[in-house]
Amino acid sequence: MRIVFLGPPGAGKGTQAKFLERNYAACQVSTGDILREAVQAQTSLGRQAAQYMARGELVPDELVVSLVGERIRQPDCRNGFILDGFPRTIAQASGLEAILQNMGAALDCVFNLRVPDAILIQRLTGRRACSRCAALYHLAFSPPQREGICDRCHGNLYQREDDREETIQARLNVYKTQTAPLIDLYRRKGLLKEIDGVGSMEEIRDRIIKAVNEVRA
Ligand code: AMP
């Protein structure tokens, strides 16, 4: 399966992509996670990306397209991949198409997770991530057993710098102007499946399983 997850920040793309990875032998490729690791490791990519990310802006297309091109050619993506947070612009979608053509591959479907702004803001401000294993928590909806500590690996939990309220609004604006046009693009290609992203993690997961089964039928 080769899947793209579209949706605004906080729609649940990462959570649902991780679920598909565990259950459908496909590899989650999150450009946000790759970029955050690069920033932390202070690689050349990380140094170039850091300032954009801190402001909630998009990292330049050519950087992200080349990192995704390299990543999806790795052996662990041979059975399929779930692109989480990519493409985010029309130029990135064209870049992806060229990469896939070159690989003799094609997308199976594009899921668009729909969530109203008020819920996104609530989810993003309460979101915490593990600094060691990247597991996700929410202070109100899925809190860790011990405050600030990951249940799985006991790593420290942190709030992403770009999950602060001032930056969230910038990210939502970027989504509306630069990423939302991809919904129509993929609809025209006949690849789009709309998913209601409001509800519990399990309810949304069930909608996605149903959509995956329809694609595979
Ligand atoms: P995310 O974890 O997907 O919310 O991404 C966090 C930040 O990483 C975004 O606000 C961007 O600054 C950057 N980023 C992630 N994916 C992309 C992408 N496909 N294109 C450009 N910037 C990206």
Is 88 an annotated catalytic residue? yes
What's the whole-model pTM score? 0.92
With respect to residue 58, please indicate whether it lies within any of the assigned structural domains.
yes
Is 91 among the domain residues? yes
Chain segment 109-166, per-residue pLDDT in tens? 999 999 999 999 999 999 999 999 988 899 998 999 999 999 999 999 999 888 988 8
**What CATH number did the domain enclosing 74 receive?**
3.40.50.300
> Does a structural domain hold residue 196?
yes
Say how many domains are in the chain: 1
Indicate if the alpha-carbon torsion angle 71, 182, 8, 88 is positive or negative: positive
Alpha helices (H) along 31-133: 31-41, 44-55, 61-71, 90-103, 117-125
Q: How far apart are CA 8 and CA 56, in angstroms?
A: 12
In a domain, residue 47? The reply is yes
**Residue among 65, 88, 173 whose CB has most ligand 1 atoms within 8 A, to mutate:** 88
**Catalytic one of 18, 55, 160, 187:** 160
DSSP 181-196: HHHHHHHHTT-EEEEE
Q: Flag whether 147 is in a domain.
A: no
Model confidence over 163-197: pLDDT tens digits?
988 899 999 999 999 999 999 999 999 999 999 99
Name the residue of 4, 5, 53, 82 to mutate for ligand 1: max ligand atoms within 8 A of Cβ: 53
Asked about 210 being catalytic, the answer comes back as no
Which structural domain, as residue segments, surrounds residue 73? 2-115+179-216
pLDDT at 52 over 90: yes
Is 173 contained in some domain?
Answer: no
**What tens digit of pLDDT does each residue of 61-87 get?**
999 999 999 999 999 999 999 999 999
Torsion of CA 127, 130, 134, 140, to 10 degrees: -30
* Any domain includes 135: no
Please say if 127 is a catalytic residue: yes
Pick the residue whose CA is nearest to atom 11 on ligand 1.
58
Atom of ligand 1 nearest to the CA of 30: 3
Q: Which of 64, 73, 58, 60 is nearest to 27 (CA)?
A: 73
Q: What is the pLDDT of residue 122?
A: 92
Structure tokens at 118: 């008020």
Q: In the annotation, is 47 catalytic? A: no
Q: Is residue 206 included in any domain, yes or no? A: yes
